[in-house]
Structure 1
Amino acid sequence: MERIEQRACFGGWQEVYRHHSSALDCDMTFAIYLPPQAGHGPVPVLYWLSGLTCSEQNFITKAGAQRYAAEHGIAIVCPDTSPRGDGVADADGYDLGKGAGFYVDATQAPWAAHYRMHDYVVRELPALVEANFPVTDARAISGHSMGGHGALVAALRNPGRYRSVSAFAPIVAPSQVPWGEKAFAAYLGDEREAWARYDATALVSGELRERLPLLVDQGTADEFLSQQLRPELLHVACETHGHPLTLRMQPGHDHSYYFIASFIGEHVAHHAAALHR
């Protein structure tokens, strides 16, 4: 690993590292905020997954989460949103290819060679972080938009791995909306049973070994609300199958980091309560 950024922040350190990923077969960057409490012993970790077009930089520079992480004594790890590099497949447009990994393990050419973001986020990155930083194996996960989809799926598919999960404006039913249909067809092929394994609404509707409560915030003025996000689909599935969901529709808020910054303190507190149990 190579540290490429380090900045003092709220008594702790905001750092960015580069490493070679075996899951993705390319070099990757990730950010980690270490609160002041990490100087005295291991702290739990919140993993944050960002949305389309983003990298590890958007959240650490715009959300203002470090203040709350320092207050609650938790680390925050932010991976990039896709594999990167000259040899990595890409596509025209913002919603497929680099910056749009959708947190799935691709099975179709040319994507399968590198696009294994679910494996990277759930297994490789936590193992790397826990081996090299003063953190525990107590984990939580959250994210925004495409990253909200990734966070919900990671928690639902991996019982016992996370103590809590939340999302901002997540793509809750990617199998039923244009963003997800385009990405899943490319990465996973035409078989919709494969899509269901990466669809939070479908997972809630199936057999789960753990009913981890879901916290979702959604802005009512979000420009993607009715076509791409469709939180009502998750709400119906959770009500039908008895899965605990807190869905908060936030009046006037859009899809931007102004929305995330407005409620990130509440989300960090929600995760901290679970992580410090």
Structure 2
Amino acid sequence: METKPTEISSSKMFGGYNKRYKHFSPTLGCSMTFHIYFPPSPSSPSHKFPVLYWLSGLTCTDENFITKSGAQRSASSFGIALVAPDTSPRGLNVEGEADSWDFGVGAGFYLNATQEKWKNWRMYDYVVKELPALLAENFPQLNTSKASISGHSMGGHGALTIYLKNLDKYKSVSAFAPIVNPINCPWGQKAFTNYLGENKADWEVYDATCLVSKFNNIPASILIDQGEDDKFLKDQLLPGKFQEACKTHNVPLLLRLQPGYDHSYYFIATFIDDHISHHAQALNL
């Protein structure tokens, strides 16, 4: 099986290229796709682009961010490569994997499942270990040691938890409408029960609000944008809980509540330039 990535599409945008790749993932036990936006080639052939990983939300694939966010404009001007992986394993035909939109296919929650039935759902290891190694090995124009991470909703949860657990691997983090306290919301409780079992202590290692208490050496402020008209704000996202935890533990957080905005990519497209700029600063661009 071909673990080396094969290019399956390429489209020019803002002087650079959106390229989509397919490869077999030993971590997940299936074929996976991911996108890379390569900025315009610099004059120096030895130059390497820093990387911003984008983790998408429930029901999404590796295509949503690339086609809807407009992030390429800022990424092109700053010289940042965008890497957008898929949100779960696909094609495994596990019973029940597609029964609901908020669990299973398209809903990997960026964790390593411990329950036997869902043993292939290891998106945490895929994003943190396999994908960076694959990029370093196959794309010499990328500098994977200079990386930041961002995401939306379930992907915002993924970005925050992965960043907090791997401060040595990422220079900065940001999120749009993230699920910051999954142990206390219906989406998180459903996913964690199925993927991780009934022991609540096992859930806390994938909850950003719980993780914040363990850190006091965060190199850059955490940036979060949250739409005030987001229908999931009060029941699922709970940004106030994360804000309280950050305040208690002196973790630098900029939480911006945006009046009138919802949970959609219209919201993301409106503020994505601020997020790219936030990461460019941390990546010393």
Q: TM-score, normalised by structure 2?
A: 0.94
CA distance in 1, matches of 2:247, 2:93: 45
Determine which of 143, 151, 170 is the counterpart of 2:178: 170
Alignment correspondent of 2:122: 116
Verify the 8 A CA contact 1:37 1:70 in the aligned structure 2.
no
- Could you tell me which residue of structure 1 aligns to residue 157 of structure 2? 149
The number of equivalent residue pairs is 275
CA contact (8 A) 2:56 2:151 kept: yes
Deviation at 1:91, TM superposition (A): 4.0
What does 1:1-277 correspond to in 2, within 5 Å?
A: 1-37=5-41, 40=45, 41-88=47-94, 90-112=97-119, 114-133=120-139, 134-136=141-143, 137-205=145-213, 207-208=214-215, 210-212=217-219, 213-276=221-284
| Alpha carbons of structure 1 residues 72 and 111: separation in structure 2 relative to 1, 3 Å | same
Query: In the alignment, is the contact (CA less than 8 A) between 1:160 and 1:210 conserved in 2?
Result: no
| Partner Cα distance (1:240, 1:164) in 2 | 20
Deviations 1:66-112 (A, max 9, x none): 11100000100000000011444514110000000000000002101
| Cα displacement (A) at 1:159 | 1.9
> Which residue type is aligned with residue 148 of structure 1?
G
Identity, in percent, stands at 56
1:141 and 1:162 in contact (8 A); partners too: yes
Cα RMSD after superposing both structures = 1.2
Q: 1:110 is paired with a residue of what secondary structure?
A: helix
Kindly provide the amino acid, as one letter, of the partner of residue 30 in structure 1.
F
Q: Distance in 2 between matches of 1:179 and 1:210?
A: 30
> Which sections of structure 1, spanning at least 5 residues, go unmatched?
none
Judge conservation of contact 1:38–1:135 (CA < 8 Å) in 2: no
Asked whether the 8 Å contact 2:218–2:252 carries over to 1, the reply is yes
Q: Distance in 2 between matches of 1:65 and 1:47?
A: 12
Structure 1: 4+ residue segments shifted above 6 A: none
The amino acid of 1:164's aligned partner reads: S
The offset of 1:126, in angstroms, is 0.9
Task: Indicate conservation of the 8 Å contact 1:217/1:247, yes or no.
Answer: yes
Instruction: Kindly provide the CA deviation profile for residues 166-213 of structure 1, in whole angstroms up to 9, marking residues without a partner as x.
Output: 0000000000000000000000001111100000000012x2363242
In 2, the alpha carbon distance for the partners of 1:256 and 1:87 equals: 29
**Given the superposition, is the C-alpha separation of residues 244 and 3 from structure 1 closer, same or farther in structure 2, using an over 3 Å criterion?**
same
- 2:180 match: secondary structure: coil
State the AA in 1 paired with 2:217.
Answer: E
State the SS of the aligned residue for 1:217: strand
Letter in 1 for 2:153: S
Gaps spanning 5+ residues in structure 2: where? none
CA distance in structure 1 between the aligned counterparts of 2:147 and 2:236, rounded to whole angstroms: 28
Is 178-187 or 1-10 further displaced after alignment? 1-10
- 1:124 Cα deviation (Å)? 0.7
**TM-score normalised by L of structure 1:** 0.96
